[in-house]
Structure 1
Amino acid sequence: MMICALVLAVNVLCDAPLDTRITALLPESEGTERLAHADARLGETFEQRFMLLVAAQNDLGAAEPDNQQLVNQLQQQLADSGVIDSFDSQTPPRPDQLLASYRYRLLTDELQQADAEQWRQRGLSRLFTPGIGASLATDPFGLLDAWLGERISGPVTWHQGGLSIDTSGGRWGLVSATLAGNPYDTSVQRALTDSVARFSDTHPEVQLLRAGLVFHAAAGAEQAKREITTIGLGSLLGIIALLALVFRRPVVLATLLLPVATGLVFATALTWLLFGSLNLITLAFGASLIGISVDYALHLQCTRQLHPERPLSRLWPGLTLGLISSLCAYLVQLATPMPGLRQMATFAALGLIGAWLSVRLWLPLLPVHPHPATGAIAMRLNHLRLKRPHPSLYLAAGLILMAAIGVTISQGSTRHDPRQLNPSPASLVEQQQRVQALLEQPASFRYLLVSADSSDRLLERLEALDAQLGKLENDGHLSFYQHLAQAVPSAKTQQANLDRVRQAYAEALPRLLESAKLPVELMPKLMTKLDAVPTLTPETWLTSRAGESDRALWLQNVDTPGALVMIGDIDATAAEALNALAQAPGVIYRDRVQSLSDQLAGLSSEILQWLGLALALLALTFGWRYRRRAWRVLLPPVGAVIITLGIFAASHTGLTLFHLLGLLLVLGIGLDAGIFSTEHPADPAAWLAISLSCASSLLAFGLLAFSATPALHFLGTTCLIGLVATWCLVPLSRGVDPNHRSHCGPVNSTRRPLQHEKE
């Protein structure tokens, strides 16, 4: 414990990293190395970036047209926070300058299909329309303007040196930046959110929209810290009040809390050491350990309080078996591919081991301080048991269990959408969605991964997808799609465009010069511009400022060149079409949300199999130890699991992975109750300890039902129902009072068990 305390102190003093990612609860990315690389590339692109939209409102609630001064103030405050690596330039990237020399190889679909007369009319219109500034010498038909208008246009415009978005409701000023640190770093989150909050407080009339992972991570971290304080502290205070009421001795209360402190220090230090960082959700979950780690001390103290003369050797077998069964319930989570759950399972297991060791090694050395009230409470509580055989009660319990099984089979359902695990406030999610809608950006969780043996062949494959994707978009089945070939055509397409431009110049340019009353001698000079036209390459485009937003779409640092086609919202028709496209060699359709959902479903099935295996092994173990009494051990945990499943099915609550993990916890805690009620069926001390254990566990795990973090809420709701059911089933497990009367004093530890008690 001294070593663990030292490790914990060093981590705290050295500001060791605390992980705030809710995504740590999700499965690690599965699939090919290329998919993993694509996911990582998207993460690198989007994780450290954030955007803020600012709109000043007038007295009528409409957005003011000029908000650049506000944008500058906000930008300065963010710069002063010290966590900004760079701001996006407030001046246009000028793709026209970059693409000027490539203009003759960049041809819109409309100009490709136009005839010579349409080309002539376009040239005349540009020459004689004020404000266009057409250049007869370089681009008489406006090829570059047409290309930029069709392929590289977007909602972001530049006004008075700043980025903005014009909508029907007014103008939004845009601040877009890259963080200097990790978005999961709490110091980065705090500095950024404090700067934004100060700006909002200073300008209450300003409407501000936030978008970026860092804001969601900050909200999750704040929520986790808040729940550590409320749930953990509430659990601790509730358990202290409960134990103080029963034992009435500060010394006894201290001895009961000693295993709690031991378990938490043991678990926190070693988990931090093993994983290198500690997730705040693990701490929130670990704060609930105080409800179960105190169980071992409860059984020891209840036995010593009511039976000070009884040797503790009778207690250790049940206590050891209880630890093993609880560890089984937690350590099953180590088989999951989710690092967050593995960390939580490790934390819980180490905490239980630390608490058990302190109970086994330290507490027996402390003096006993019985209080009369403890025995009185135990005797009154012991009345809650069967005084005589009640076959009808067992029949009713059996019918309830059969009904729960029937409802579960007929109406039970599951939910495995990972979006339900998002703990972000609804207002922040709504802001993110509004920003994405204003920027016309597709969701980054759905894409096609296309591969080819060369960069140019890859561009050709991307172009081949345009026919089907464009039709889906035009028919309303697909909201948006984006790929690099929309900005950089393949060499084959660029050559075809150049050939078409030469043909159009030969056919339309003489007519244009004639109509404009310009000398025909200009013809050779204009045609010479088409002789040596360079080919635009992906490298040229992506290394420029104009191509920054497309860099995540091009995967070149892998064995085979690859590119992403980002996909927006889709319906069932588009989903079917995308899956059909993915049947072609070198094309993979990736819906990361659906993929995670499938993984969660598979993981749930795997946990159910582990649960079945654990029950089978425990049934064999208990059958070997308890013979015909084995059903008494299994009734509280298994019955509680069945009843909980039945209630969820009847209420049409879809089971998630975290409901199943809660069932594992119910099984582990219920096994303790079953073991001790079978080991000591007539002992009021055992019943008192079981009741206190269920109550303390309810305070610990049941309080998680009020967590705003969905994963912990599902876990807590399951434990709340399951632990109540466990406590209600223990009297049936204990059986009939062998003395047929309430005990008024300690049970004689030398009394021989009656025959029916053995059974």
Structure 2
Amino acid sequence: MSQRALAWLWAALLLVCTALLLTQLRQPDFWDTRITALLPASDQSARLQRADNQLAGAFESQFVLLVGGPQPVAAARDLKQRLQAVGLSADQTDNRPDQQLDAYRYGLLSDELHAADSEQLSARALERLLLPGGSEAVSRDPFGVLDSWLQERFSGPLRLRQGMPGLQHDGQLWVLVSGQLQASPYALEVQQQLHSALAAFHVQWPEAQLLRSGLIFHAAAGATQAQREMSSLGLASVLGLCLLFWLVFRRLRTLALLLVPIACGLLLALPLTGLLFGGVNLLTLVFGVSIIGIAVDYALHLQCQRQLVAEQPEQRFWSALLLGLVTTLVAYLGQLLTPMPGLRQMACFAALGLLGAWLTVRLWLAQWPLSVHPATAAAARRLAPLRLREGQRWPWISLLVLLLLALAAISRLQFSGSLQQLNPSPPQLIAEQQQVQTLLQQPGGSRYLLVSAPDGQALLQRLESLDAPLQQLLAAGELSAYTHTARHLPSLARQQYNRHALRQGYLQALPALRAASGLPERLQQQAVAALDAAPLLTAALWLDSSAGAPDAALWLGAQTEGGWLAIIALGEASPAAISALQQLAIAPDLLYHDRVASLSAQLAHLARSMASWLALAVLLLGLLLCWRLRRAAWRALLPPVGAVVLTLGCLSLVGGIGLFHLLGLLLVLGIGLDAGIFSAQEPDSEATWLAVSLSCASSLLAFGLLAFSATPALHFLGLTCLLGLAFTWALVPFARAERPGFSH
């Protein structure tokens, strides 16, 4: 097929991609704001995976706000109305477990009433009789069974304040506004609704204080940050590239032509990535826009070659350009081997973008008229003296010493599995969430016990048996909180036992109560008859009620492979408590799981795997270049491999490296290969040296700016690229010079 026909075919493909992209942009879920997309696929058991998913699902759909300030109750009511007005489902009715559990109260006996004797029960009934409406209350529930049980089981810090739940802490009243989302917290529309409601609230109540907890706040902060950085860092990168190219080429037409490959690369990568992955993560776009900034390298080499050497480049030039593409794609596509969907999406986006840029240069730019300015040749002449002169040994000795020092530092390198690299939330928001959990005395859900049993009732009984050791840890201050379904839903066996104990209390205490109070003789018969006729509280009834809704996230129920499962959510635990929990989980029906520790270990393992891939990639690329370039292969390998070694040495001095540092090193390897290959092909060419310098400078603008990102993952990647690309450019003069005592 002719060059002209291929050019038209490439134009037709870009038109199809344009139409596809316009269709995708109309889909509300095309943009994905989930940072969890970067997490590795779990290799844990199916039961643990289901438990994690259930806890995560419950956390995703709920949000909590604590309102403080001069008028917290009025402000909280206003905030509640504003959330409902924009379509966010704030709780509209107060949870009244006393009304929902009234019919089942006889099976709900507190520990205090269990331990009470007949005299204490009679005294309790007499106290209730003296209260307003006491005669009716005693006739229905002589000992206040339900009130006593509710006080014991729901004895959290919240109390009703003018009809709103609130708590007092350090002299400040905090009023609770909570709710359930009807849509995904990652949906941009939902996040915008939340932002508008809170902005209007702050205008109306400027002195009000807000403490936020819920995934929607983290998702909204991450999306806002990604959008802000996409515009600020992307704009800075584009402006920097334009200024750089203007200083060298001084032609608007040339400037426009150099940016065409970037646009075409984006046009190919964006819709096809969305098609393959069902959408595009905003972090992928931030990362991808910067990566495709290096797509201009191909145009730079072509432009410098045409202006300074020959208007129609030789086949040798195109071979080098193709070799640069292939080796760079090998470095990028290595990310497809990772089990992290987000990284695979980034790799696909980058590979498609670079392929689109290369095709644009090969099929279009080479055929377009050339525009020349004397400033280009002048820039090449000014850069030429930076090449090392023959016979210079001190630069080589210095380089050898630096490489040896870097290798010594690398020997002490540690891999970090810190989840900080995956958490883009502002520190203030993280602190607020921790404060909300502390004030409400709620478990965080990051660690839990997974309990199994043959059936539902056996599961409830097993949960009840674990209260004693957990209460010991709680009383000792080693465990901040814990909760499970059986804390609020007694097993049927426990309910029957409670009813029997209550019946005995009626028989022993009610005669003395009648004698002391003058209540009718039928009181005892009525109380016993009501007890015998009352239903038992089942798991289905409890979990379907609004009072039992919070327990639904902790109850996995029957499993397809057999058995029943439930979760005991645990709060902050000391090392002694963690040791005790792990010892407790030796039992075959218990499993202790720390989600944060598990993910950290998984990320550290993944970082080691990527380090192995990096070493393998260097080996494979070295063999490929030795086969292709023979004795000149060292020229191609010195900039990328030397830059990787020196960058690792620097990073090892400031702490451990993580997954995104290694990802950045893969990119440094790919970018440095372009510089090395052209230096090996044309070691004495001023055009090549100018193009390589511009390429490194433009890549530094594209990647190095990510070092200023507030998103930890992008910051670590950008910092690595900033160091690595600077080292790459500094090593190119060595690759273009003769080694002392050698010839090329």
TM-score (norm 1): 0.91
Q: Are 2:46 and 1:40 aligned? A: no
Q: Which residue of 373, 378, 384 maps to 1:376?
A: 378
Letter in 1 for 2:158: V
Deviation for aligned residue 1:681: 1.0
Deviation for aligned residue 1:328: 1.4
Deviation for aligned residue 1:208: 2.6
Deviation for aligned residue 1:14: 5.1
> Structure 2 CA distance, aligned partners of 1:18 and 1:126?
60
Deviation for aligned residue 1:515: 4.5
Q: Which residue of 649, 656, 660 maps to 2:658?
A: 656
Deviation for aligned residue 1:353: 0.3
Q: Are 2:688 and 1:686 aligned? A: yes
Name the residue aligned to 1:465: 466
1:201-600 counterparts in 2 under 5 A? 201-308=203-310, 311-410=313-412, 412-516=413-517, 522-556=523-557, 558-559=559-560, 560-600=563-603
Name the residue aligned to 1:19: 32
Name the residue aligned to 1:55: 68
- Which deviates more from structure 2 when the two are superposed, residues 374-383 or residues 33-42? 33-42
Cα pair 2:305 2:311 within 8 Å, conserved: no
SS in 1 for 2:479: coil
Report percent identity of matched pairs.
52
Deviation for aligned residue 1:555: 1.4
After superposition, the Cα gap between the structure-2 partners of 1:107 and 1:360, relative to the gap in structure 1 and judged at 3 Å, is same
Cα pair 2:700 2:725 within 8 Å, conserved: yes
Partner deviation per Cα, 1:696-737 (whole Å, 9 max, x = no partner)? 000000000001111100000000011111111111121239
Cα pair 1:541 1:547 within 8 Å, conserved: yes
Cα pair 1:514 1:520 within 8 Å, conserved: no
Deviation for aligned residue 1:39: 2.4
Cα pair 2:83 2:90 within 8 Å, conserved: no
Q: Are 2:608 and 1:612 aligned? A: no
Letter in 1 for 2:35: I
After superposition, the Cα gap between the structure-2 partners of 1:526 and 1:131, relative to the gap in structure 1 and judged at 3 Å, is closer
Equivalent pairs, count: 729
Cα pair 2:221 2:425 within 8 Å, conserved: yes
Cα pair 1:484 1:554 within 8 Å, conserved: yes
Deviation for aligned residue 1:533: 4.2
- Which deviates more from structure 2 when the two are superposed, residues 165-174 or residues 637-646? 165-174
> Structure 2 CA distance, aligned partners of 1:424 and 1:537?
41
SS in 2 for 1:324: helix
> Structure 2 CA distance, aligned partners of 1:525 and 1:131?
18
> Structure 2 CA distance, aligned partners of 1:303 and 1:526?
100
- Which deviates more from structure 2 when the two are superposed, residues 227-236 or residues 556-565? 556-565
Letter in 2 for 1:185: A
SS in 2 for 1:323: helix
Q: Which runs of 5+ in 2 are unaligned?
A: 1-13
> Structure 2 CA distance, aligned partners of 1:503 and 1:737?
99
Letter in 2 for 1:470: Q
> Structure 1 CA distance, aligned partners of 2:169 and 2:251?
70
Letter in 2 for 1:43: A
Cα pair 2:306 2:313 within 8 Å, conserved: no
Cα pair 2:297 2:695 within 8 Å, conserved: yes
> Structure 1 CA distance, aligned partners of 2:550 and 2:731?
61
Letter in 2 for 1:615: V
Q: Which residue of 53, 69, 76 maps to 1:71?
A: 76
SS in 2 for 1:447: strand
Q: Are 2:644 and 1:641 aligned? A: yes
Cα pair 1:477 1:574 within 8 Å, conserved: yes
After superposition, the Cα gap between the structure-2 partners of 1:598 and 1:336, relative to the gap in structure 1 and judged at 3 Å, is same
Name the residue aligned to 2:159: 157
- Which deviates more from structure 2 when the two are superposed, residues 432-441 or residues 145-154? 432-441
Letter in 2 for 1:699: L
After superposition, the Cα gap between the structure-2 partners of 1:706 and 1:516, relative to the gap in structure 1 and judged at 3 Å, is same
SS in 1 for 2:390: coil
Letter in 2 for 1:627: R
Deviation for aligned residue 1:290: 4.0
> Structure 2 CA distance, aligned partners of 1:521 and 1:174?
45
Cα pair 2:292 2:354 within 8 Å, conserved: no
> Structure 2 CA distance, aligned partners of 1:184 and 1:474?
39
> Structure 2 CA distance, aligned partners of 1:434 and 1:520?
54
- Which deviates more from structure 2 when the two are superposed, residues 711-720 or residues 192-201? 192-201
Cα pair 2:456 2:558 within 8 Å, conserved: no
> Structure 1 CA distance, aligned partners of 2:311 and 2:631?
30
After superposition, the Cα gap between the structure-2 partners of 1:179 and 1:130, relative to the gap in structure 1 and judged at 3 Å, is closer
Q: Which residue of 171, 174, 186 maps to 1:172?
A: 174
Name the residue aligned to 2:185: 183
Letter in 1 for 2:345: Q
Letter in 1 for 2:555: W
Q: Which residue of 585, 604, 624 maps to 1:601?
A: 604
Cα pair 2:261 2:295 within 8 Å, conserved: yes
- Which deviates more from structure 2 when the two are superposed, residues 548-557 or residues 183-192? 548-557
- Which deviates more from structure 2 when the two are superposed, residues 424-433 or residues 341-350? 424-433
SS in 2 for 1:341: helix
Cα pair 1:417 1:594 within 8 Å, conserved: no
Cα pair 2:62 2:178 within 8 Å, conserved: yes
> Structure 2 CA distance, aligned partners of 1:345 and 1:138?
69
Name the residue aligned to 1:631: 634
Letter in 1 for 2:368: L
Deviation for aligned residue 1:168: 4.4
Letter in 1 for 2:611: L
Deviation for aligned residue 1:130: 6.5
Deviation for aligned residue 1:122: 3.2
Deviation for aligned residue 1:757: 4.4
Name the residue aligned to 1:7: 20
SS in 2 for 1:136: helix
Name the residue aligned to 2:8: none
After superposition, the Cα gap between the structure-2 partners of 1:131 and 1:693, relative to the gap in structure 1 and judged at 3 Å, is farther
Cα pair 1:134 1:142 within 8 Å, conserved: no
SS in 2 for 1:52: strand
Deviation for aligned residue 1:313: 0.5
Letter in 1 for 2:462: R
Deviation for aligned residue 1:255: 1.9
Cα pair 1:126 1:134 within 8 Å, conserved: no
RMSD: 2.3
> Structure 1 CA distance, aligned partners of 2:733 and 2:569?
60
Letter in 1 for 2:335: Q
- Which deviates more from structure 2 when the two are superposed, residues 33-42 or residues 264-273? 33-42
Partner deviation per Cα, 1:10-31 (whole Å, 9 max, x = no partner)? 2235556211111211223332
Cα pair 2:55 2:553 within 8 Å, conserved: yes
Partner deviation per Cα, 1:492-526 (whole Å, 9 max, x = no partner)? 22222223223333334444444546576754444
After superposition, the Cα gap between the structure-2 partners of 1:496 and 1:17, relative to the gap in structure 1 and judged at 3 Å, is same
> Structure 2 CA distance, aligned partners of 1:358 and 1:316?
13
> Structure 2 CA distance, aligned partners of 1:448 and 1:171?
34
TM-score (norm 2): 0.93
SS in 2 for 1:354: helix
Name the residue aligned to 1:751: none
Letter in 2 for 1:74: L
